[in-house]
A and B are shown apart, each in its own frame.
Chain A
Amino acid sequence: MTALPEWLRPGARPSGGVSPRPAAHRLLRRTLGAMGRSLALLVREDDGPNAGALRAADPRAKLLAAVGLIVVATFLRGMLPLAVCLGLTLALSVAARVPGRRLLPVLIAVPLASAALMLPATLNVVSGGSPLLVLWRTAGGALGPWRLPEIVAITGDGLLVAGRMVLRTTACAALALLLAATTRPQQLLGGLRSLGVPQAFVMVLAMAERYLAVLLRSAQELHLARLARSVAAIGVRREEAWAAAGVGAVFRRTRALADEVTLAMVSRGFTGEVRLLRPARWQRKDWLLMAVAAAVGAALLILDRRLA
């Protein structure tokens, strides 16, 4: 029988010492939350039969359509075409059953953040234009290096500029989400492969995606272990040192894995040239999807030019 140390028994603790202050675990929990969400996205499996039609569509077609529409959105200038673009995307997202917990953040956070950033742009001092609502009259003059404007006011031009930015960023974000939420990462990689992207690049991207899950799990374990053991707040400097040690540990795992993966690839005959499975042929519904996307894009652009 191995002799256990005398103090290794339930309830034994040294006398004296200071009772620790409860730790601020908010940051740890937040990081863990973000890691968990990323992991969940990476290892997401098929969502069952009632997952909406877009999910079954060919990933290449979806990828081309979504990227094409995002590019179109960056060319649009009118509020109306942009609003139509956003509206269509949202309608499609609902039809494709993009889960609310993914859609809502985009619908709320992106416009809010964008609007907050664009608040100053509504003012005459940034966007110019004739004042609609005067906020502040100053005496003008100069303050140090600044030359003060006579008035600070919200202008029609400013509202238009800000509104356009909010609509456009939201539409682009919603399109990117629609693509990502209806296509598993693995399928998207397959889609890239068949679009003439070099196979080596697709392979690296795929492996990055694959090992991201592994490294994220390591990082998650580090954070969980930290959460489980820490009783007291340890101060910013030690907190930073801990994070850096965590980064270092993840790097060690990175290098070990890279070496081992190389061996595993060589063992199965890899000599440096990448060969991947040939993707499935284009089908009629894939062409259809592309055609619809192209038509919508063209219509939006024409509408935009007409209104301009």
Chain B
Amino acid sequence: MLSNQQTLGNSNDHGDFAGPQLIEIRGVHKAFGQNHVLNGFDLDLYDKENLVIVGKSGSGKSVLLKCIVRLEEIDEGTLKVLGKNIPTLNHNELDQLRADVGFLFQGSALYDSMTVRENLQFPLRRHTERMQGLDEESLIHSTLKSVGLAHTIDMLPAELSGGMKRRIALARTLILRPKIILYDEPTSGLDPITSKEIIELILRIQKEYDTASLIITHDMDCARVISNRMIVLINGINYREGTYRELAALDEPNVKAFFK
């Protein structure tokens, strides 16, 4: 199976992203009973990089992201984030690490009994040290402003559109100033125009907040615009890696299926 794995071009060539390595995943396995989801997956994420992962529905993309922040435990393999070995972290270390790794959930996952303000306050409850000397209110305001939704501060999630929810969820992630952001299908369920806005927002945020991103998507337009590098996830392994152009040019049915 390993012979299927192949990196296009020189495997040491990360383009402009020779900076420090933020995530290192080697030979990760994860199964739910008899359902083997990840079968020796490898991944490297470098500083300031946008890495896109594509894969069929049910191929284990969300599971992979959840393993990175230990919402799921891996069965075997190496998983290091910001130099820390994830499976052996204790509770406090894990909380500190999770503040450095933002997670944008597939369906936004806003707390629907709380207002937008309370949603943004929530991560600050346990991470007051991350307020950079600002008071809570102005931090919330400035973060909401950077996603363009300062006026929604007193609204409930039920009053927001899907695109707005996605932006608020992003603001809630940004408020702790993470070093890495994991996006689980940031444009799923949105119309093409809103998707484009979200993509532009992600790129802008990335510059403004200086983060690296790991982005899962089905949306090839999104992948083309955002990615510096891509991984095709098939059968629980990184089946192919390369830039969008390299992968699009591949003459292989498994990969071509994504680019039609």
Do these two chains interact? Answer: no
